[in-house]
Structure 1
Amino acid sequence: MTAENTSIVRSSLTRQVYRSLRDKLMSGRFQPGERIKIRELAAQLGVSETPVREALLLLTNDGAIEMKTGYYFLTRHLSLAEYMEIRRLRLILEPIAAIEALPHVDANFIAELRRIHTQLIRAEEEKDYPQALQSNFDFHFSLYRRSGMPQLTEILERLWIQAGPLLTYLYPYGHPTYKGDHQHTKVIDALEAQDAAALRTAVEQDLIEGGDKFIAYLQTIDEQAPQPVKKSSTKSIRRSPAA
């Protein structure tokens, strides 16, 4: 194999690892501030350490991972303010993606969404929280990727990979609750009716109503976090040497 072909193969492998890690981040498979162990990841994925390291560098550019002195990697731990900014963007963009998916929805797709939602509810009842997070991710991105708008989907993925580690707090601390029907069922009903307005409302309320307890929990964490020491705005005074 030539050097050029070797480079192409490695690049392809790096992209595969990158996509795998993105999905894990978006579905809450990493804790906030968790140290990423390259050797362990390489063993899990069945690859060498090089494509894992290169994929982590790409995720650093995405704002999902931090590289620390000593060349080790941590998942980011977003502050409440950072999360709320991401949430505001999601409230704008996710309804657009859902509405754009409407022309591409058929009975088979709706049946698949019902299956995923049923899996989510069962996982919540059985306290299988990793599966619940995975099913929630699958529900949303099955719909958003149906939009036929890859640029929009890419933006949403970048938002989710940054916030993904925080989702590990969702269960049991911020378990989604709803006053009436689960908003996912309202999403499905709106898709069946081809009702764009109802779909927009359901997607928005899934994030707003379903996220109330989650945000309340994030506030308690934010309040407990140590505050940075403020630097004095005055210049230091150089003392004269003692006589």
Structure 2
Amino acid sequence: MRSDPDATPGDITGRSVQTLAVARHSFAERIYAQLRLALMSGLYEPGSRLNIRNLAAAYQTSQTPVREAIIQLVADGALELKLGHQPRVPVLTIPGYLEIRQTRVPLERLAAELSAANMTRRAISDLQQYQRDFLRSEEDQDWKKALSANQSFHFSIYRKSNNSVLVKVIENLWLLAGPFVSNQYPLAKRLTFDVHPHDRIIDALRRGDAKAAGDSVVSDLLEGSQRILDKIKSETRRGSGRRKTSG
């Protein structure tokens, strides 16, 4: 690197500190984006605690950029942080989840409808690949990959709306609902469909049918959320039964 002959040691030190600060901020943003995506996809269960030291080791960095990313996620409402404790994934209540779902329905319908006019052959091909990845992951019982493929499938559609504000709002809602998403797995048995909900969405988008695309996305959302709620209610009943028996 060429040196500046007119620079003083203080100038060089100042520039170095500034460069390090920018690099640290950039790294914190990357960590934030990756953790945000994991939380949106439901890869962290409700009540899970995130160990900052372990995350720093995983990202091969110091704890400072990890803390910065955590603070941003706390501000987003995706994590809880109490003094003297590790950050924790919130335990969402069923009424809270239903409020989020109620808000998601019209927004995701709108995103799908707008996207129907912008789909290309490449975009349809990408959706088909995400669907294959999703089905293969479910078959292999690799729930994390299934959740990730499902998230990629939906947001590849929503981004085609060409409405960045809409996509950001939907992302924030997925972020808040993330703690509940993992509750759809493992399934007691593999679900079977005459036509998979994702395939109905792909077909509507391929035809450019905005209404059918919106209806299919909402149907998929409601079907998936009902499975989540049924599983939570079933586990709650079992837990209540065990408490009564032990009492």
TM over 0.5: yes
Q: TM-score, normalised by structure 1?
A: 0.86
| 1:88-237 equivalence runs, <5 A | 88-173=102-187, 177=191, 180-220=194-234
- Offset at 1:207? 1.0
Which residue of structure 2 aligns with residue 237 of structure 1? none
Amino acid of the structure 2 residue aligned with 1:197: K
The structure that is strand-richer by fraction is: 1
**Aligned counterparts of 2:239 and 2:67: Cα–Cα separation in 1:** 30
Evaluate the alpha carbon distance shift between residue 162 and residue 225 of structure 1 in structure 2; reply closer, same or farther with a 3 A threshold: farther
1:54 is the counterpart of 2:88: no
Q: Which runs of 5+ in 2 are unaligned?
A: 1-14, 241-247
**Aligned counterparts of 1:222 and 1:80: Cα–Cα separation in 2:** 11
Matched residue pairs, number?
226
Q: Secondary structure at the match of 2:26?
A: helix
- Offset at 1:50? 0.5
- Offset at 1:199? 0.5
Q: Secondary structure at the match of 1:209?
A: helix
Evaluate the alpha carbon distance shift between residue 160 and residue 175 of structure 1 in structure 2; reply closer, same or farther with a 3 A threshold: farther
| 1:74-85 equivalence runs, <5 A | 74-85=88-99
Judge conservation of contact 1:176–1:212 (CA < 8 Å) in 2.
no
**Aligned counterparts of 2:189 and 2:56: Cα–Cα separation in 1:** 33
Which residue of structure 1 aligns with residue 245 of structure 2? none
Deviation string, structure 1 residues 159-217 (Cα, Å, up to 9, x no partner): 11122122221112487846541111011000111001100110010011233221112
Q: TM-score, normalised by structure 2?
A: 0.84
The structure that is helix-richer by fraction is: 2
Judge conservation of contact 2:97–2:177 (CA < 8 Å) in 1.
yes
CA-based RMSD of the aligned residues comes to 2.1
Q: Which runs of 5+ in 1 are unaligned?
A: 227-243
- Offset at 1:142? 1.1
Deviation string, structure 1 residues 44-102 (Cα, Å, up to 9, x no partner): 11221101111111000111100023042101110001111111111111111112222
Judge conservation of contact 1:176–1:213 (CA < 8 Å) in 2.
no
Q: Secondary structure at the match of 2:77?
A: coil
